[in-house]
Structure 1
Amino acid sequence: MATRILSALVAAGLIGSAVASPPPLPHSAGPPGFRSAPAPPRNVSAWLPYWDQKAAYRDALRHAAQLHTVSPFWYQAVSAGQVDGHPGAGERGVIDGLRAAGISVVPTVMETMKPGALGEILTSPTSRATHIRTLIGITKSRPYDGLDIDYETIAATGDASYEQVRAGYAAFVTDLCRALHDARKKCVITVSPQTGNTGRIWDYAAIGRAADRVRIMAYDLHWRGGQPGPLSTPSWYDEILRNATALIPRTKIEMALPAYGWDWVPGGETKHVTWKEAEALRVKKGAPYRLDAESGSPTFTYQEGEQTRTVWYQDARGVAAHLPTVRKYNIAGTGLWALNFEDPGLWPVLADG
């Protein structure tokens, strides 16, 4: 998620007619002229990007029946004793409107500290305690329902202090969750996937014992720093959840799904695109819609001058291809990065799944 702040663009408007539009999603059959529409379960959480706050807030209200939690991406930890707000942080109209719709408001605290700075906080009991007091102060500043912690500069591997930092983060989460629970607040921890060669910095078992929810960022299998490819695949999801459910109670796990993609060019700048931007670009360039069968992800190529660019992203049909793997593990629910990025067809897919 650290790349989000650096590369996420303000979401484009909804597009209209399309060239070679995606085929319609199948729906359940019923009596002629009748389609049952029971209220969908509240099994989705979603992040609300501050740079698109008004539109994302409206999107949340449109889908309030499915959302149990919204995490406005509002705060950034700068040091042990300082947490700054992004533009629009703490807006009472957003908080009150979401809560009136029955949605818990659990703002996200992220960080982009210099290498080693977060590790120093985590490995010092005094600094950890200072930081926890600072975070609890955030929860008391508004009628929040809890906090979501999304700290990612600890994720580097190979560092000599790896074991100490890993233990320090587990201790931080344990103490923070206890303090939040004492204040009758929810403790949500966002982590990257733990597979055979990734995510070792996270002590999943300790985090799972302490937190109310553990959100796994199930995306960026391929990302801006590598070669073009899908953001996720069913087989990758299977590996992630096989590892996670062995260490974290299933009732606490959320798989956070992407509503965005990457636009690659060999040797050039890779661009972040929301679903809306990707589809608008596909239509503009006249590229046919294609869902890659192996990965369950849409992709297309297009020419920009002498460059051939490749786009991989995610839409409702792709998520529908991935959900059987997620359902197999009977976890708590799904998350979405991020509101107003997504294919509108995603919501009935999540309701069915």
Structure 2
Amino acid sequence: MLIHIVQRGETLWEIAQRYRVPIERIVAANGLKDANRLAVGQALVIPVPYRYHTVRPGETLWTIARRYGVSLSAIVQANRISNPSVLYIGTVLLIPPRTHTVQREETLGQIAARYGTTVQEILRVNRIADPNVISPGMVLTIPHSKQIIETNAFTIDPGEKGAQQVREVGRHLTYASPFAYTIRADGGLNPFNDAAIIQAIAAERVVPMMAITNFTYKDPGSRLAQTVLSDTQLQNRLLDNVVRTMREKGYRGLNIDFENVYPSDRERYNQFLQRAVERLHREGYFVSTSLAPKTSGEQKGLLYEAHDYPAHGRIVDFVVLMTYEWGYRLGPPQAISPIHQIRRVLDYAVSVIPRNKIFMGFQVYARDWVLPHVQGQEAETFSPQEAVERAIRYGAVIQYDPIAASPFYRYVDSQGRTHEVWFEDARSAQAKLDLVKEYQLRGISYWVLGYSYPENWTLLEGNFRIRKL
């Protein structure tokens, strides 16, 4: 996969010709609504079977070739290198795809096993509809090997609406979690209309994960959490109701998202998690938690102090880091999930939690703030796809903040008001996917389904193999 930034005056036809890719494939990869309308600065995923590599200190052409499973001569030829022994740090190299010539009586399964890929990937890259048409002498492009990760996605929409969201991206998911059952002060659970969602989850071979929480948009839930965490009987009643619901609905695991817990309840929260894990493990269920984006164990604030990273990492099966909402809907305009802030969270997280227990959170929406910003004025939230459409509609030039790794732009509406929009695009998605590789994390957790973002799913498929349980 490559990412192309649209320049002023460029057309999709010119871009397709440059990369020798049919326009239809670029349209599909990016979910373009109108191939004749592009925004200056728009990031497009170009679905090609090769990639680029930036030379790092200590690397040689031989080590790079070995890393990608291609021959040294193939890299030399693709980049027209005259002296292979001279390689400069920062040089960007095109990594050509591997190829394989089909031998007599060889099967796609054997070829896939040889190169550590799947039959489906070979069919996709070579655009083969019928696997029976391969024959001796046919040259196949072999996709680069991919790291296997797990993915999760939350949906906040009940009923059929949430179910449709799962159907649209289910092939990319390991887990899906309808959000959420709100706990009650008597140990009960407020109902959630999740029947259709769970049916869709099962149809997509995704693991359903129940979510419980203590907060609503109107109540931070601090007192409610304190009430439950201070009473063992209430906790046992709550867990009874959780297990009963999981059995009735077909859930296979639980996500506990208790937020705004009083700092004084930190240890009681840890004890509740231990009790929950012991109970649910006996029943055959896994347990995860959602954690505020902390950068140190001493970080102050109601959102952070009761979230004990080392304890969660020790007690539960995995954690979801909520690495988003710096660009809060009621706060000033800024990147919603800036990469430099995510790095700070990950640096701390991997120091106290096993990497194979960490899901990095990734928000999949955009925000539009009216300027000048007034404290408490709510930004409009919508999809990354709508953010690009809005830039096209108002003739805005999309810019990119390299520190936050996030696109943004400004425009003036029909009433003369200036707006600032921060969103996600192909570049910001790739930057986050690269973090998962760099930190060797268990996977990615998407917050939240319902916002169209085709480039992300195209890049996710191009970068990883998603584990199905």
Report the TM-score when normalising by structure 2.
Answer: 0.64
What is the number of residues matched between the two proteins? 329
Aligned match of 2:241: 134
Q: Which of residues 315, 332, 339 is equivalent to 2:425?
A: 315
**3-state secondary structure, aligned to 1:195:** coil
Counterpart in 2 of 1:16? 33
Cα distance 1:124–1:269, how it changes in 2: closer, same or farther (>3 A)?
same
Q: Aligned partners of 1:315 and 1:246: how far apart in 2?
A: 30
The structure-2 alpha-carbon separation of the partners of 1:19 and 1:54, relative to structure 1 and needing over 3 Å to count, comes to farther
Q: CA deviation at 1:276?
A: 3.4
**Which position in structure 2 is the counterpart of 1:168?**
268
In 2, Cα distance between equivalents of 1:342 and 1:309: 21
User: Deviation at 1:59?
Assistant: 4.3
* 2:216 corresponds to 1:147: no
Equivalent in the alignment of 2:229: 122
Distance in structure 2 (CA, Å) of the matches to 1:335 and 1:326? 11
1:101 paired residue number? 204
Aligned counterpart for 2:293 among listed residues 193, 201, 205: 193
Give the secondary structure class of the aligned counterpart of 1:335. Answer: strand
Specify every segment of 5 or more residues in structure 2 that has no aligned partner in the other structure, as ranges: 1-30, 51-96, 100-124, 127-140, 465-469
2:449 maps to what in 1?
339
Tell me which moved more, 287-296 or 54-63.
54-63
Bigger shift: residues 259-268 or 271-280: 271-280
Deviation sequence 1:193-218 (CA, Å, 0-9, x none): 11143623201111112211200111
Is the contact between residue 384 and residue 425 of structure 2 (CA under 8 Å) also seen in structure 1? yes
Correspondence for 1:78: 184
Map of 1:282 onto structure 2: 391
* CA shift for structure 1 position 62: 4.3
Residue 320 (structure 2) pairs with residue 215 (structure 1): yes
One-letter identity of the residue aligned with 1:186: F
Per-residue CA shift, 1:149-168, capped at 9, x if unaligned? 222232xxxxxx623x1111
- Stretch deviating more after TM superposition (329-338 or 127-136): 127-136
| In 2, Cα distance between equivalents of 1:276 and 1:186 | 35
Greater radius of gyration (CA): 2
Q: In the superposition, relative to structure 1, how do residues 252 and 340 fare at CA in structure 2: closer, same or farther (>3 Å)?
A: same
Which region of structure 1 is more displaced relative to structure 2, 271-280 or 243-252? 271-280
Give the counterpart of 2:311 among 203, 206, 210.
206
Query: Hey, what's the Cα distance between the residues in 2 that align with 1:65 and 1:39?
Result: 19
Counterparts of 2:245 and 2:167, CA distance in 1: 24
Measure the CA separation in 2 of the matches of 1:200 and 1:169. Answer: 11
Could you tell me which residue of structure 1 aligns to residue 175 of structure 2? 69
Which residue of structure 2 lines up, in the alignment, with residue 4 of structure 1? none
Residue type of the partner of 1:298? P
Farther-moved stretch of structure 1 (41-50 vs 257-266): 41-50
Question: 1:152 is paired with a residue of what secondary structure?
Answer: coil
CA contact (8 A) 1:19 1:288 kept: no
> 2:155, 2:177 within 8 Å by CA — same for their partners in 1?
yes
The letter of the residue matching 2:187 is: G
Contact 1:221 1:232 in 2 (8 A): yes
- Structure 1 unmatched runs, 5+: 1-13, 155-160
Secondary structure of the structure 1 residue equivalent to 2:235 = helix
DSSP 3-state at the match of 1:219 = coil
Using a 3 Å threshold, how does the CA distance of structure 1 residues 101 and 222 change in structure 2: closer, same or farther? closer
**Cα distance, 1:104 vs. partner?**
0.3
Q: Give, in whole Å, the separation in 2 of the partners of 1:139 and 1:313.
A: 36
User: Residue 38 of structure 1: CA displacement?
Assistant: 8.2
Distance 1:348 1:283 in 2: 22
* Amino acid corresponding to residue 20 of structure 1 in structure 2: A
Q: CA deviation at 1:171?
A: 1.1
Q: How far apart, CA to CA, are the structure 2 residues paired with 1:232 and 1:72?
A: 22
- The more displaced of 20-29 and 247-256 is 20-29
